[in-house]
Structure 1
Amino acid sequence: MFNLIQNEQMKIYRRLRTWILGGLLIAIVVMASIFSHPNSDTSDKWKVRAAETIEHNTRELQNPDLPDKIKQDLKEELAEQQYRLDHNYQPLENTLWGGVLGTSGLIMLVTLFTVIIAGDMVAGEFTWGTIKLLLIRPASRAKILLSKYVTTLLFAATLLVVLFLSSLIANGFLYGFQSLSLPHLTVNAAGQVQEKSMLVFVFATYALKLIELVMIVTLAFMISTVFRSASLAIGLSIFIMFAGQIITLLLMRYSWGKYFLFANTDLTPYLAGQPMAEGMTLGFSITVLLFHFVLFNVLSWEIFRRRDVAA
């Protein structure tokens, strides 16, 4: 199995296209970091804004008609801003971690590049006629297909590492590396500010954004296996990737719209307790995602197993 994965890795990285995609990703990350970097001085101005926020929230909390939810939010913000002043912790957006989180939106670009590779993984073998040479090996079709799928996910993981490291380095030069030790601040139910690992928080943010990547890449891999056309797999997957959210908004008017795949790929609303539609829960979305994940892989396996390549 390891030799099969190694062979598929060689097929990917010996192509100039792969290195162009990697270089393009780094260039876009650097440009995005530069353009999003504030031009204003960020030295002590944040302290003035924090003090103003504390004063404003203190006045607002004296309003007896204020809803409890808003009061709780104001208290948490007040506690966090006061804690930042007391410990001289700059706001996240003024540090390299803010820049890293800002460029996490480029995971969509990683998805796009991985779809290009995934769409060609199986279909390309049929296009170039190398599928016969591949299947005469002693390895079973299941291992061959699994090695291609694992290789696709490993390529996506490699691009994610490139995205994170290039973003970290670029924003480090822009904001300074002194904020590497900056903690992630949270306010518990008792109103106490707690320091947590910023690195863990950033990785968790990346992990939540990975769900859509895995689902779209799995879809592209399935289309590549079913239709044996790299151009169709890539084109259709990219169309679904960009049109998925638009279709979701249209379908959410109906009660059955919540079963649509892309209505469940973004799990971040559950962190704020605001699901996309009534009746949707975290467990429900995970179930829908698992159903589609299994469906896509079963279709890939069954069609690849039954396909006649002798002709």
Structure 2
Amino acid sequence: MRNLLALTRNETLKVLRKRRFFVVVLILLCLIPLFTYGQYTSEQRLLAKVGTTDWKAQLQTQITETEHRMQSSYLPDEQKKILALQVEQNKYYLDRGINPKSTGATTFTRFFMQYGVSLFLPLLVIVVATDIVSSEHSEGTIKLLLTRPVKRWKILLSKYLTLLIYTTLTVVITGVACYLISGLFFGYQGWDAPMFTGFQIANGTFDASHVQVIPHWRLLLMNYGLGWISVIVVATLSFMVSVLVRSTAAGMGVMLAILIGGNILVQLAADFPLAKYLFTSHLRLTDYVNGTPLPIPDVTLGFSLAILTLWTFGGLLVSFLTFTRRDVLA
């Protein structure tokens, strides 16, 4: 156990020295203000169009505009389903006198995870994940690493634990940065604001029978908890690629192709029988608590978690079998 902790500490320092993690943080600190400003200007345009600060009038305008979008013949059916659910959700809030956008920075922080979990955050994670093993080959340090009187599986486990640490830090820094930066524009209030969760579409109709009222801080934690699971899955598969491919650039290219290609496939061929078994089809776990329908029909949170768990254990199995049995010194 002491050896494992020492190895993990050493691997953590290695990642810090390479400064890849600092690049990830820098990207977040550059893009989050841009996204915040974009959201702020969008709300200001809506305010100018409505001509009032009354949130009910603003929400009604948004409902009307969304209904107009749904009438477009060029809009895919899956997109229409998502918009229809948004309309029903907004009407649900309107009828009960609760402003879904009155929560300021907490809302932006939740939305950032909701929409960034399927592609943006995974892309940041693979910057570190695809380098953590393959760099030992490209830098020629793999022989020095394996001359230690430590079993290979412990060395690889220490690298994986290091990856989990940095992946978790990425999620935490994302949430903190979103809240602190967006709060400058929207305010820092709203932790205890009532929020609805449990919206569903059953047999093509809006179903509010499972809706619950929870404080916004709880919904925020649920989003980031589910988002963390999705990002860990991507990190694990990137870790596997880093073991299989001895070049960091090649490993990153492979994961980029898988992530982007998988997202495109899910959007264009959601009815394809094998699509529901791809891990990219289930990365948006946050949709389950936010009431947004997944592109893959007839799936549940339990099914999505089971698929992601299988991919995770499969990736770890391949990683450890390959690293412990392959002649990595060749």
Q: Which residue type is aligned with residue 37 of structure 2?
A: I
> What does the per-residue CA deviation read over 1:28-74, in whole Å, with 9 as the maximum and x for residues that have no partner?
11111111112237984214456899xxxxxxxxxxxxxxxxxxx99
Q: Which of 128-137 and 167-176 deviates more?
A: 128-137
1:31 corresponds to:
34
Q: Secondary structure of 1:9's match?
A: helix
Corresponding letter in the other structure for 1:118:
A
Q: What are the ranges of 5 or more consecutive residues in structure 2 without an aligned counterpart?
A: 63-85, 200-206
CA contact (8 A) 1:257 1:263 kept: yes
Contact preservation (8 Å) 2:103, 2:189: no
SS in 1 for 2:130: helix
Cα 1:240/1:309, change in 2 over 3 Å: closer
The answer to whether the 8 A contact 2:196-2:212 is kept is yes
Alpha-carbon distance in structure 1 between the residues aligned to 2:213 and 2:57 = 22
Q: 2:110 aligns with which of 98, 101, 104?
A: 101
Q: Which moved more, 1:146-155 or 1:174-183?
A: 174-183
Alignment of 1:1-311 (within 5 A): 1-37=4-40, 38-39=43-44, 40=47, 44-49=53-58, 80-81=93-94, 83-84=96-97, 90-92=99-101, 95-104=104-113, 105-107=115-117, 108-185=119-196, 195-249=213-267, 251-268=269-286, 272=291, 276-277=295-296, 280-311=299-330
Q: Distance in 2 between matches of 1:118 and 1:4?
A: 17
Does the 8 A contact of 1:76 with 1:187 survive in 2? no
Deviations 1:67-103 (A, max 9, x none): xxxxxx999866643543xxxx643266222221232
Q: Residue 52 and residue 9 in structure 1: after superposition, are their counterparts in 2 closer, same or farther (change >3 A)?
A: closer
Letter in 1 for 2:112: T
**Alpha-carbon distance change, 168 to 281 in structure 1, aligned in 2, over 3 angstroms:** closer
What is the percent sequence identity of the aligned residues? 26
Aligned length: 290
Normalized per residue, which structure has more helix? 1
Moved more, 110-119 or 189-198: 189-198
For structure 1, which runs of at least 5 residues remain unmatched after alignment?
54-72
Deviation at 1:276, TM superposition (A): 4.5
CA distance in 2, matches of 1:306, 1:192: 50
**Post-superposition offset of 1:210:** 3.4
User: Aligned partners of 1:278, 1:246: CA distance in 2, in Å?
Assistant: 16
CA distance in 1, matches of 2:329, 2:311: 31
- Partner of 1:266: helix, strand, or coil? coil
2-structure distance, mates of 1:47, 1:164: 29
Moved more, 197-206 or 255-264: 255-264
Q: Which amino acid aligns with 2:160?
A: Y
Shift of 1:258: 2.6
Q: Give the Cα–Cα distance (whole angstroms) in 1 for the partners of residues 244 and 88 of structure 2.
A: 55
User: Scaled by the length of structure 2, what TM-score is found?
Assistant: 0.75
Does the Cα contact within 8 Å between 1:248 and 1:257 map onto a contact in 2? yes
Deviation at 1:275, TM superposition (A): 5.8
TM-score by length of 1: 0.79
Of 196-205 and 93-102, the range deviating more from structure 2: 93-102
Instruction: Please identify, of 234-243 and 184-193, the stretch whose mean Cα deviation from structure 2 is larger.
Output: 184-193
Question: CA separation of 1:243/1:81 partners in 2, compared to 1, >3 Å: closer, same or farther?
Answer: same
The 1:76–1:293 alpha-carbon spacing in structure 2 relative to 1, beyond 3 Å, is closer
